[in-house]
Amino acid sequence: MIPDHAPAGHPAIPPRRVGVLVANLGTPDATDYWSMRRYLNEFLSDRRVIDLPRWKWQPILQGIILTKRPFSSGANYRSIWNTEANESPLMTITRQQVAALRDRAQALWGDRVMVDFCMRYGNPSTESVVDRMVKAGCDRILFLPLYPQYAGATSATANDQFFRALMKQTWQPAARTVAPYFDRPDYIEALAASVERALGGRQPARLVASYHGMPKRYLMQGDPYHCQCQKTSRLLRERLGWPEGVIDTTFQSVFGREEWLKPYTVEHVAELARQGVTRIAVVSPAFSADCVETLEEIQGEIRHAFEAAGGEEFTYIPCLNDDPAHIEVLTTLIGENLAGWV
């Protein structure tokens, strides 16, 4: 499109559009040592994730951790890798989610809204997708981190990377970020419906709501993540109509030696089995898409800990992924945050 009254030879300008940029954690490009090392180096160098002084942390990371961990992490990813598409399940599911959101955006707003996705770590990078959106005519971008509960190590670091990408744009688009949606009634409804569907309407002896972990120190510094997780679990229980004590809130993926948010999922499920609770279900409300933490850690290490301690029936309830109810929640959330722009 050439602007009205533009001089001869003026370059074409794309039509104005609004961008919706969906962000998830990230994924390695492959499972080999060097792909895993690049991914882990970017992830574990993030000061929002590991906030130790660089002079103390980087020698440990570059020496011991990145020498050994790519092998074990690569094996974990290989056990769940989507070999047909040659990508991680998180990438596959995120593509499916965004494809569904594009269809809904097209139906609601036509070509005025462009929907795309990026990863905080790995590819497609936030910077590359922001640049693509700006070149496509997006002079306003809504940024949606796919984390129901806010945490500095998830939502905030995704926003940080988005703002860093905007800093590199000569003509910077207007920007909005989406707030956490951990207590939205439609999100709780979608989560509860997935539990009911997976359990066939039965109430388990115990439902373990396993959230990704973080150092307890972050909570003491004011991070609201722990409180938001507790509220999600409470609202889920109330919506299901179950009595207190049926849903336990736990935390997984502990890293390092310091104390993290407790109880730890892997220890808690084993203790339940030892107490005679032999039938449990596990749901992961902090994850918008199944990934290595759910498909490998919960289905592998955590399931094994439960069964080794005497547990008999372990049911994993998948994340909301591209379930139509989840897509509708995200579409509504996007629509609310686009108010005044479309």
* Residues found in the chain: 342
Mean pLDDT confidence for 201-217: 94
Residue 1 in this model has a pLDDT that exceeds 80: no
Residue 323 in this model has a pLDDT that exceeds 90: yes
pLDDT band at 326 (very low <50, low <70, confident <90, very high): very high
Gap between the Cα atoms of 151 and 246, Å rounded: 26
Long-range (24+ apart) CB contacts under 8 A made by 265-268 are 265/208, 265/210, 265/298, 265/302, 266/301, 266/302, 266/305, 267/305, 268/208
Mean pLDDT confidence for 218-228: 97
Q: What is the DSSP string of 218-247?
A: HHHTT--HHHHHHHHHHHHHHHHTPPTTSE
Tell me the per-residue pLDDT of 50-94, one tens digit each, with 9 for 90 and over. Answer: 999 999 999 999 999 999 999 999 999 999 999 999 999 999 999
Gap between the Cα atoms of 139 and 135, Å rounded: 9
Per-residue pLDDT, 18: 98
- SS3 for 116? strand
Backbone angles phi, psi at 322, to 5 degrees: -105, 25
Compute the CA torsion angle 71, 73, 79, 85 (nearest 10 deg): -100
Tell me the per-residue pLDDT of 90-148, one tens digit each, with 9 for 90 and over. Answer: 999 999 999 999 999 999 999 999 999 999 999 999 999 999 999 999 999 999 999 99
17-178+324-338 with 185-317: one CATH topology? yes
- SS3 for 321? coil
Cβ atoms of residues 80 and 89 within 8 Å: yes
Per-residue pLDDT, 137: 96
Element (H, E) at 113: strand 113-122
- The neighbouring-strand residues paired with 215 are 260
More confident residue, 3 or 340: 340
pLDDT band at 15 (very low <50, low <70, confident <90, very high): confident
> What's the CATH code, domain 17-178+324-338?
3.40.50.1400
Annotated binding site: 212, 293
Per-residue pLDDT, 6: 58
All structural domains of the chain with their residue ranges: 17-178+324-338, 185-317
Q: Which amino acid is at 106?
A: Q
Per-residue pLDDT, 8: 62
Was domain 185-317 assigned CATH 3.40.50.1400? yes
Q: What is the mean pLDDT of the chain?
A: 95
Mean pLDDT confidence for 254-273: 94
Question: What percentage of residues in the chain have a pLDDT greater than 90?
Answer: 93
Annotated binding site for Fe(2+): 212, 293
